Amino acid sequence: MTYVGKPAENWTHTAGPDDFYFECDPREQAVVITLPSNAASQGAVYVFKNILAGFGTQITPATDDWIDDAQNTAVTMSSNGESVMLIAGPGRWRSIAHNSGNA
């Protein structure tokens, strides 16, 4: 598990091959997580969850990469319990699930 936010006081993180699940704590400032390049990550799966509300969490693609149908556009989580699952698919990151609250 990778913890990003207040307790660890790391507000930015670049996802790597050893990452899978991210608990994001944006209570004091926004959390920003950058995905690795899609081309170098085929089949990688990342799960992100906001564990508190606050300034929000942004999941950003690497430069010139896509998430679903948007190039260079971040996925944003703003609610407590909100979660997103992404997989590196052919040509772009694909969102598999995006839940708005604790489920």
Q: How confident is the model at residue 4 (pLDDT cuts 50, 70, 90)?
A: confident
Both tokens assigned to 70: 């948007």
Residue 103: per-residue pLDDT: 61
Residues 98, 10, 70, 52, Cα dihedral to 10°: 30
The Cα angle at residue 11 between residues 6 and 69, in degrees rounded to 5: 125
For residue 35, the one-letter residue type is: L
pLDDT in tens, 6-57: 877 788 999 999 999 999 999 999 999 999 999 999 999 999 999 988 999 9
Q: How are strands ordered across the β-sheet holding 12-14?
A: 12-14, 31-34, 57-60, 75-77
